[in-house]
Amino acid sequence: MEVVTSEAASKSPAGAGSKGKLYLVGTPIGNLDDITLRAIRTLKEVDLIACEDTRRTQQLLSHYGIRTPTTSYYDHNELVRAPELIIEIERGRDVALVSDAGMPVISDPGYRLVRLAIHHNIQVVPIPGASALVAALVAAGLPLESFHFLGFLPRKRIARRRVLERLRDESRTLVFYEAPHRLIQTLSDVLKLLGDREVAVAREVTKIHEQFVRSSLSEVIQRLQQRPVRGEITVIVGPLEPARQSGGAAGPGENQSISTEVARIMKERDLDERSALKVVARERRISRSEAYRQWQNERGAIR
pLDDT tens, position by position, 236-265: 999 876 544 544 444 444 556 788 888 888
How many CB atoms are closer than 10 A to CB 89?
23
Q: Is the pLDDT of residue 15 over 70?
A: no
Please indicate, yes or no, if residue 9 is contained in any of the structural domains: no
Please indicate, yes or no, if residue 174 is contained in any of the structural domains: yes
Neighbouring-strand partners of residue 127 = 25
Which pLDDT does position 298 carry in this prediction? 72
Mean of all residue pLDDT scores within the chain: 87
Among 217, 246, 275, which residue terminates a domain?
246
- Taking each continuous run of H as one helix and of E as one strand, the counts in the chain are 11, 10
Residues of 118-131 as b/e, b for ≥16 C-beta within 10 angstroms?
Answer: eeeebbbbbbebbb
Please indicate, yes or no, if residue 295 is contained in any of the structural domains: yes
Same domain, 49 and 122: yes
Please tell me whether the overall predicted TM-score, pTM, comes out greater than 0.85 for this model.
no
Please indicate, yes or no, if residue 291 is contained in any of the structural domains: yes
Q: CA-to-CA distance for 180 and 172, rounded, in angstroms?
A: 24
Q: Is the pLDDT of residue 1 over 90?
A: no
Same domain, 99 and 172: no
Among 107, 130, 153, which residue terminates a domain?
130
Say how many domains are in the chain.
Answer: 3
Question: Is the CB of residue 138 less than 8 Å from the CB of residue 110?
Answer: no
Q: CA-to-CA distance for 134 and 139, rounded, in angstroms?
A: 9
Give the pLDDT band of residue 7 (cuts 50, 70, 90): very low
Please indicate, yes or no, if residue 17 is contained in any of the structural domains: no
| Identity of the residue numbered 82 | A
Model pLDDT for residues 150-197, shown as the tens digit of each residue:
999 999 999 999 999 999 888 899 999 999 999 999 999 999 999 999
- CATH number of the CATH domain containing 237: 3.30.950.10
Backbone φ and ψ for 47, nearest 5 degrees, come out as -90, -25
Same domain, 258 and 154: no
SS3 274: helix
Please indicate, yes or no, if residue 1 is contained in any of the structural domains: no
Please indicate, yes or no, if residue 211 is contained in any of the structural domains: yes
Q: CA-to-CA distance for 303 and 301, rounded, in angstroms?
A: 5
Q: Which of 180, 299, 165, 154 is nearest to 235 (CA)?
A: 180
Same domain, 147 and 235: yes
Same domain, 218 and 159: yes
Which residue did the predictor score with more confidence, 28 or 300? 28
Q: Which domain holds residue 269?
A: 250-302
